[in-house]
Structure 1
Amino acid sequence: MDRLKGKVAAITGGASGIGLGAVERFAAEGARVLVGDIDEAAGLALAARYGGEVAFQRCDVTEEADIAALMDAASARFGGLDVVFNNAGAGGARETLSEMTGEAWDRTQALLLRSVALGIRYAIPHLKRRGGGSIINTASIAGMQAGAGPIAYSTMKAAVIHLTRLAAAELGRDRIRVNAICPGLILTNIFTPGVPSGFADMVKAEMRQGAPEAQPIPKPGEPADIAAAALFFASDESEFVTGVHMLVDGGMFTGPRQAWDPELRGQRLREREERLAVWRAEHPDETSEAI
């Protein structure tokens, strides 16, 4: 407890999913938090749970003025700004490369990359006035490999990883740390926006069931798992850490399934022995075990 006591944080996309998990964890650790989100009803309800320690301001991160206003409001309301979690986002355009229009690319870029760059930009003067601070960006495992998300989403998340490194280099002398978190399979509604809640629940149930088949750790990720990583980056415990991206993915990025699934390894070993037995039966005069 109290790992963030005395700190002020601004969290975008804080009314649901990963952002909500971070708000709850940061508040539990003593931070005062300004939540930015387009969901006003959820944001206001969240603020009401905490009294004056958590506040809400509507923020559409595709609007530059909204981002600037969020950073200004956090500093004005709570007397400064120490931590910024650039987290807001969605799945973006779902088209393939052969289908994608420039407009679709631009919308996704504005939501997932431009928003992060502007979140950093408008946080800088406030963090400098506090003698430094921490900026945390939500990237994704999709920014590191193919097949983990739509192509536009994945491209922007890869750019967020590199932006994080560049910003860390530029801002280090101001004692501003910049790091990214790369979630894997996390139970949120990021890829089911605007669908009936029952359908979204069905998708999450499928994710929960499929998690053991996708990664070494046989459980789906929860927003609390990402919040724990964000807490480390927000706290003084990470004061010597900047420019890195932390995978929080249950081991999904460690390698293909045969690297971590004992059943699959056993199956492949049995298949090899069966092939070897067949080969020996067909070549009784051979002594080598090579096949």
Structure 2
Amino acid sequence: MRLAGKTAIVTGAASGFGAGIARRFAAEGARVLVADLDGAGAKAMAAEIGDAALPCRVDVSDGKSVAAMANAAQAALGRIDILVNNAGVTHLPAPMEEVSEADFDRVFAVNCKSVYLTARALVPAMKAQGAGAILNIASTAGVSPRPRLNWYNASKGWMMTATKAMAIELAPHGVRVNALNPVAGETPLLRSFMGEDTPEMRARFLATIPMGRFSTPGDMGAAAAFLCSDEASMITGVAMEVDGGRCI
């Protein structure tokens, strides 16, 4: 129960890695706001987790929606101890010059602007209480980019730099900021990363991972629970790879 008495917001928590993180946080004793653009999915996931979870529909790329989420979280949970910026999207694999402007804007709005918007909404309260943990879900794509996912790669590299910048600025206020870099996993984004979900394409992806498997929601939940717990009180500004050795 390493998160006993803690409260957390997890974005993109209706499925995939976010769901794994929300489940693990609740299992470790936290009360969790399950936030997702899919409001019905957020309700279903909160119901699955049980009394420790509350659902919230949010568009993380929209300032008013993020502010409403923050207000709802503070009203329901009181102080917010943990924020996990997990919501993310990608564009389909394509030569960099062929990705549409609309797809580019969407990737950077959801993957990058959202980190600014949640910080704007929640950092003041964390600074006032003198404590907090923020976890940004980046990607091995920001460390070792894959061809044809150029702008997604770039957005995750941005997230890692933002993590370090946030960490150094917020450290004097008692707020820690870290990131996780998963490799591709069994999430709704997997098909988009691959372009097509076939045994051959999966085999090609798995061949790049020394441990021979994808990241799972459980892997991410375990790593997130550690980094957001008091056991990691001296850790800030890191981007921990949960990737089975892909970036070695």
Residue 273 of structure 1 aligns with which residue? none
Q: Over residues 17-73 of structure 1, what are the superposed CA-to-partner deviations in whole Å (9 max), with x where a residue is unaligned?
A: 000000100000000000110112211112223443200110011111111221222
- Taking the aligned partners of 1:61 and 1:93, their CA distance within structure 2 comes to 21
Q: CA deviation at 1:105?
A: 2.3
Residue 5 of structure 2 aligns with which residue? 6
Residue 21 of structure 2 aligns with which residue? 22
The 1:149–1:9 alpha-carbon spacing in structure 2 relative to 1, beyond 3 Å, is farther
Q: CA deviation at 1:212?
A: 4.8
Residue 239 of structure 2 aligns with which residue? 245
Residue 36 of structure 1 aligns with which residue? 35
The size of the alignment, in residue pairs, is: 246
> Is contact 2:130–2:173 with CA below 8 Å preserved after alignment?
yes
> Is contact 1:142–1:154 with CA below 8 Å preserved after alignment?
yes
Residue 107 of structure 1 aligns with which residue? 106
Letter in 1 for 2:218: A
**For structure 1, which segment, 245-254 or 94-103, has the greater mean C-alpha deviation from structure 2 after superposition?**
94-103
Q: Over residues 100-155 of structure 1, what are the superposed CA-to-partner deviations in whole Å (9 max), with x where a residue is unaligned?
A: 44443222210111111222222212222432110000111111123166111111
- Taking the aligned partners of 1:144 and 1:164, their CA distance within structure 2 comes to 14
Q: What TM-score do you get using the length of structure 2 for normalisation?
A: 0.91
- Taking the aligned partners of 2:148 and 2:219, their CA distance within structure 1 comes to 20
> Is contact 1:91–1:191 with CA below 8 Å preserved after alignment?
no
> Is contact 2:23–2:49 with CA below 8 Å preserved after alignment?
no
2:215 aligns with one of 193, 218, 221: 221
Q: What TM-score do you get using the length of structure 1 for normalisation?
A: 0.78
Tell which has more relative contact order, 1 or 2 (C-alpha 8 A, sep 6+): 2
Runs of 4+ in structure 1 deviating by more than 4 angstroms, as ranges, are 204-212
The 1:145–1:222 alpha-carbon spacing in structure 2 relative to 1, beyond 3 Å, is same
Residue 274 of structure 1 aligns with which residue? none
> Is contact 1:91–1:190 with CA below 8 Å preserved after alignment?
yes
1:182 aligns with 2:181: yes
**For structure 1, which segment, 47-56 or 97-106, has the greater mean C-alpha deviation from structure 2 after superposition?**
97-106
Letter in 2 for 1:250: G
**For structure 1, which segment, 213-222 or 21-30, has the greater mean C-alpha deviation from structure 2 after superposition?**
213-222
1:127 aligns with 2:91: no
**For structure 1, which segment, 46-55 or 35-44, has the greater mean C-alpha deviation from structure 2 after superposition?**
46-55
Identity of aligned residues (%): 39
Consecutive unaligned residues in structure 2, runs of 5 or more:
none
Q: CA deviation at 1:94?
A: 4.5
Q: CA deviation at 1:97?
A: 2.5
Letter in 2 for 1:234: C
Largest Rg, 1 or 2: 1
